[in-house]
Amino acid sequence: MARSEKQKQKLLYLLKILTEQTDEQHPMPMAVLLDKLRAEEINAERKSVYSDIDCLVDFGVDIAYNTAREGGYYLASREFELAELKLLVDAVSASRFITRSKSEQLIRKIEKLASRYEAVQLQRQVYTAEQIKHENESIYYHVDAIHTAIHENRQVSFRYLEWNLQKELVPRKGGKYYRISPWSLMWNDENYYLIGYDAQAGMLKHFRVDKIGPIEMLKERREGEEVFRKCDLSAYSAKTFGMYGGEETIVTLSFPNALVGVVIDRFGKDIVIRKQPKDYFEVHVKVMVSRQFYGWLAGIGKEAKVISPESVREGYREYLCEILENK
């Protein structure tokens, strides 16, 4: 770009420098500011830069001057405070439905809302407890497509997927296409769910967004509004989904092959699946042992077995005995 063209952009480069390289703890003296502009091939005198700063202030940019020794100019306020950006970074890092690569992209964008010095503090916020992240990059776009369909009052069509023993997501029911009227998205137990009306079944259904195949938005308008309006989503969520927490323990569990999807959904794809005789498999997993965990096992039924440790086997037996005694 010609030097004369760069000169025309002096005001923009000045704002960029102040935004990216200054904050209250890191003001920039005028001499350094002039050097930064020269590095961008923009020659400027102090008087013209003073005038440019006044122009930015008149426009509404909050630029302040630190009068202390080694003081200088800095961007005094931003759209987001540092504490708010930390919350956003933590939320992205902890969200299971956002893939690791997408999380990194979003965090880099959030960092640009702070100065380079504050961005370092945001990077330190990225470390979270080890967790299972979805690997399906399309979730991000599925959520957007569903919101669009709801906004435009349109039906959607998709294939629903499930896990197999090779830890692959494959179409359910022979690749059947579901035709659904989307009414809401629900966040529950670290997953996004589509709540929609199935006209063929005449009822509301829920679908985990990370298990939805490519979505096609149809021309037909949505159906089932009356059914949806009568539905209490809070009660629906409590009745349909579950979660658990407690003391962390490594447990060996046994399940029939038909339940591999349930196990992968709960513990993620990184688990080691060991095939056993009679169409069973075993897994060694870290679980939060609690009554909620035992309830999850009991909900699966008698085919779910605790192999070890003995303390968990005994705890599960006591839990089941308590249930029988209360009947």
Residue 133 lies in a domain: no
Rounded distance between C-alpha atoms, residue 256 and residue 78, angstroms: 55
Q: pTM for this structure?
A: 0.61
Number of domains making up the chain: 4
How far apart, in Å, are the Cα atoms of 279 and each of 197, 252, 300, 307? 36, 17, 16, 16
pLDDT in tens, the chain (327 residues): 555 677 789 999 999 999 999 999 999 999 999 999 999 999 899 999 999 999 999 999 999 999 887 789 999 999 999 999 999 988 888 777 788 888 889 999 999 999 999 998 887 544 444 566 666 677 888 999 999 999 999 999 999 999 899 988 899 988 999 999 999 998 877 788 899 999 999 989 889 898 999 999 999 999 999 999 988 877 566 445 443 445 778 899 999 999 999 998 878 888 899 999 989 999 998 877 888 888 889 989 989 999 999 999 999 999 999 888 766
* DSSP conformation letters of 171-228: ESGGGPEEEEEEEEEEEETTEEEEEEEETTTTEEEEEEGGGB---EEEEEEP--HHHH
316: left (phi over 0), alpha (psi -120 to 50) or beta: alpha
pLDDT, position 37: 95
Rounded distance between C-alpha atoms, residue 80 and residue 63, angstroms: 15
Residue 283 lies in a domain: yes
Q: How many CB atoms lie within 10 A of CB 49?
A: 19
Q: What CATH number is given to the structural domain containing 312?
A: 3.30.70.240
Residue 202 lies in a domain: yes
For residue 92, what are the domain limits? 82-124
pLDDT, position 244: 42
pLDDT, position 238: 45
pLDDT, position 223: 97
151-155: long-range contacts, CB 8 A cutoff, minimum separation 24: 152/217, 153/221, 153/222, 154/217, 154/218, 154/219, 154/220, 154/221, 154/222, 155/179, 155/180, 155/181, 155/182, 155/217, 155/218, 155/220, 155/221, 155/222, 155/223
Residue 240 lies in a domain: no
Phi and psi dihedrals of 72, rounded to 5?
170, -170
**146 and 208 part of one domain:** yes
pLDDT, position 228: 93
Residue 196 lies in a domain: yes
pLDDT, position 246: 56
Nearest CA to 215 out of 133, 139, 164 is that of 139
Domain finish residue from 92, 124, 156: 124
**91 and 144 part of one domain:** no
